[in-house]
Amino acid sequence: MLFRSLVGKSAPMQSVRKEIGQVARSDANVLIQGESGTGKEVVARNVHYNSSRRNNPIVPVNCGAIPADLLESELFGHEKGAFTGAITARNGRFAMAEGGT
Tell me: the pLDDT tens digits for 43-99? 999 999 999 999 999 999 988 899 999 999 999 999 999 888 889 999 999 999 999
Q: How many domains does the chain have?
A: 2
- Single-letter amino acid, residue 28: A
pLDDT score, position 42: 92
pLDDT of residue 1: 59
Residue 2 has pLDDT above 70, yes or no: no
Same domain? For 41 and 76 the reply is: no
- Judge whether residue 4 has pLDDT over 80: no
My answer on whether 44 and 82 are in the same domain is: no
Q: Tell me the residue range of the domain where 83 lies.
A: 63-96
CB 53 within 8 A of CB 67: no
Contacting residues for 24 by C-beta, under 8 A, at least 6 apart = 46, 47, 48, 50, 51
Supply the pTM of this predicted model: 0.79
